[in-house]
Amino acid sequence: MSSTIRLTMAQALIRFLKNQYIERDGVETPFFAGILGIFGHGNVAGIGQALQENPDFRYIMVRNEQSAVHIASGFTKMKNRLQTFACTSSIGPGATNMVTGAALATINRLPVLLLPGDIFARRNVAPVLQQLESPATQDISVNDCFKPVSRYWDRITRPDQLLTTLPEAMRVLTSPADTGAVTLSLPQDVQAEAYDYPEELFRKRVWPVARPLADRALLERAIGMIRSAKHPLTVSGGGVLFSGACAALDAFARRTGIPVGETQSGKGSLAYDHPQCLGAIGATGTLAANRIAHDADLVIGIGTRYSDFTTASKTAFQNPEVKFININLFEMDAFKHSGLALTADARATIEELTAALTDYSVTSMYAARITELKQEWEAETGRLFHLGHQPLPGQSEVIGAIWETIDERDVLMSAAGSQPGDLHKLWRTRTPNSYHMEYGYSCMGYEIPASLGVKMAAPEREVYVWVGDGTYLMNPTEILTAVQEGLKVTIIVVDNSGFGSIGGLSASLGSAGFGTRFRQRDPQTGQLDGAPLMVDFAANAASLGAEVFSPGSIIEFKQVLAHTRSLDHTSVIVIKTDREVRVPGYESWWDVAVAEVSTMPDVQAARKEYEAHRKDEKYFL
């Protein structure tokens, strides 16, 4: 009979997490780097007490529970999903603060373990503080909100339930296909209850990550489709990076000459100066990638879920004979666009295709077209980097200044606003994982907390965070966490007096940027079109412990950037830009519905243009 050890449920949970490992390609890594969170009455005596008894399991205090999940997501994304954090909260608002982070993790297929406190399982003292009561059932709490945004969800109402729940949670967290947020709701009374746990539960366990191969017959069909294609194109998604397939994709593209367009998550899978790399594709794509996509007769999608930005709302691929080959471990994505579904590991499949196509290459005419478009795009990027716009620079000039100043292994990250679109087009990636973009959820407020996760995942690399003023105001408080933990990140705040991205979108839809500028309410008009709101971002950042700089020109901005490399602490650079100087769309489109009926002439005109574009949307059957 196996021996047991008497522990509280929370103590057993922490001890279990400390002994979980993951292994891929012979490399073994502890799966959990620690736990992030805030203590309240719903977890302080359970998880909090257990962490006191386990000082070797790192606890990081955050300022917002949503931020905790963002830190974990940034960390695990930088680790290619091979390590993560757990996140704990109290019950009620502490728990629901994590719901947005859970959605972000699940949409981006990032493994994060969430441990929200929950209401009393024994019920006799209900309703407890922060409990949501239901007249229909007693078996509900606000933690049920996590169900639709979690890949796996459970409520632990007895301490012995850990024996069956924890292996299932780890199965999902370590799955390269089904991973996402895993939520274990922990009633506050059960966290403190003791049970005689078998010692086997706490033995080291290694979870292997396999590289499944494609079905042999389907692989042969894919090879035949590539051989017969005249204008093939590869779309590289985030799965290429998660699989560690960048070198394999490099070899495949050089061997075959097939050009590569990159999604937001896939950007950086090839160096920008790779002869087959056409950069960003889709609604925020380059002219080169979008023109090649327009005529492609075969699209090889690798690790992409074909979001509307990647497909330009189903208008990117206009060849009536276009076919798709989809390499993806997630079956739903592999079958999209009625493609030939190779439900398999990206790296292994790319290597097999390369080996089978040693005598294949695109035609010389197609290769010349690829080279010509690539050269034209690089010239356009150079132009946008050096506009010389006065008195305030355009955003593309700021991008150029950053790129010309930082090193090739430094990490640049963003998530929401106009920055992701402009960076997707213009940023010249040189090494994998140096471009960190959260665009599955495009969550405002992700950037600053996630940068702490990125820095902890890659302490040897400089981390630069680029946020707009609107995003900064949503969630700057983890600057204090960076100071507390001694983490250095460099935060660049672009001050364009409002929500510049949505302002531009609003204008394109005929609505003139309504409600997107930081202005007071004008008592005469009753609208938000009064005097500008003067926000001192520098003073705010300084109050949180950052060193702050406010350069007045692009030249000064580059000097400050160079200086921050010598610092050992977090700094914030605030630079003003002209929100009306925008990067063009390059023969692409994004479906945002325009009012069908309006008294406004600009909206009526935008609706006509919208209906014309809608005609290009395609079904791939």
34-92 pLDDT per residue, tens: 999 999 999 999 999 999 999 999 999 999 999 999 999 999 999 999 999 999 999 99
pLDDT at 171 over 70: yes
Report which of 327, 329, 326 is spatially closest to residue 338, judged by C-alpha positions: 326
* Local confidence band at 221 (pLDDT 50, 70, 90 cut-offs): very high
Helix/strand/coil for 264: coil
**Could you tell me what percent of the chain has a pLDDT over 90?**
93
Do domains 216-376 and 386-497+533-576 share one topology? The answer is yes
pLDDT at 502 over 60: yes
pLDDT at 579: 85
- Look up residue 59 and give its amino acid: Y
- Give the separation between CA 161 and CA 163, rounded to whole angstroms: 5
Tell me if 421 sits within 8 A of 501, measured CB to CB. yes
The set of residues, in sequence order, having a beta carbon less than 8 Å from that of 590 and lying 6+ positions away, is 283, 308, 309, 312, 313
End-to-end CA distance of the chain: 59
What burial letters (b/e) apply to 291-324, b meaning 16+ CB within 10 Å? bbbbebbbbbbbbbbbbebbbbbbbbbebeebbb
Report which of 380, 346, 102 is spatially closest to residue 244, judged by C-alpha positions: 346
Tell me if 588 sits within 8 A of 290, measured CB to CB. yes
Distance of CA 383 to the CA centre of its chain: 29
- Give the separation between CA 88 and CA 48, rounded to whole angstroms: 9
473-485 pLDDT per residue, tens: 999 999 999 999 9
Q: Where are the domains of the chain?
A: 4-208, 216-376, 386-497+533-576
Q: Does domain 216-376 sit in CATH 3.40.50.1220? A: yes
pTM comes to 0.96
Q: Which CATH class is domain 4-208?
A: alpha beta
Q: What is the DSSP letter of 148?
A: G
Looking at per-residue pLDDT, the higher value among 11 and 1 belongs to 11
Alpha helices in 85-232 (DSSP H): 93-96, 99-107, 162-173, 188-191, 216-228
pLDDT at 31: 98
Give me 189's structure tokens. Answer: 């009374």
pLDDT at 1: 54
Distance of CA 279 to the CA centre of its chain: 18
**Could you tell me what percent of the chain has a pLDDT over 70?**
100
Residue with tokens 């909100």: 145
Residues 492, 379, 405, 576, CA torsion sign: negative
- Give the separation between CA 494 and CA 387, rounded to whole angstroms: 17
Strands laid side by side in the 260-262 sheet: 277-280, 260-262, 232-236, 298-302, 323-327, 340-342
My answer on whether omega of the bond before 449 falls inside 30° of 0, hence cis, is no
* Local confidence band at 26 (pLDDT 50, 70, 90 cut-offs): very high
pLDDT at 507: 83
Residues 336, 342, 345, 350, CA torsion sign: negative
Q: Is 150 left (phi over 0), alpha (psi -120 to 50) or beta?
A: beta
Q: What is the DSSP letter of 338?
A: G
Q: What is the CA angle 258-260-265, rounded to 5? A: 155
**Over 88-100, what HEC string results?**
EECCCHHHHCCHH
My answer on whether omega of the bond before 391 falls inside 30° of 0, hence cis, is yes
* Local confidence band at 343 (pLDDT 50, 70, 90 cut-offs): very high
123-168 pLDDT per residue, tens: 999 999 999 999 999 999 999 999 999 999 999 999 999 999 999 9
525-534 pLDDT per residue, tens: 999 999 988 8
Average per-residue pLDDT for the chain:
96
- How many helices (H) and strands (E) the chain has is answered by 23, 23
- Look up residue 358 and give its amino acid: T
Determine whether 475 is exposed, middle or buried from the number of CB atoms within 10 Å of its CB (0-12, 13-18, 19+): buried
* Local confidence band at 498 (pLDDT 50, 70, 90 cut-offs): confident
Q: What is the DSSP letter of 443?
A: -
- Give the separation between CA 301 and CA 239, rounded to whole angstroms: 10
Give me 577's structure tokens. Answer: 């830009």
**Parallel, antiparallel, or unpaired: how do β-strands 27-30 and 20-24 relate?**
antiparallel
Q: Does domain 386-497+533-576 sit in CATH 2.40.110.20? A: no
Report which of 409, 491, 406 is spatially closest to residue 447, judged by C-alpha positions: 491
- Give the separation between CA 287 and CA 376, rounded to whole angstroms: 9
386-414 pLDDT per residue, tens: 999 989 999 999 999 999 999 999 999 99
pLDDT at 505: 85
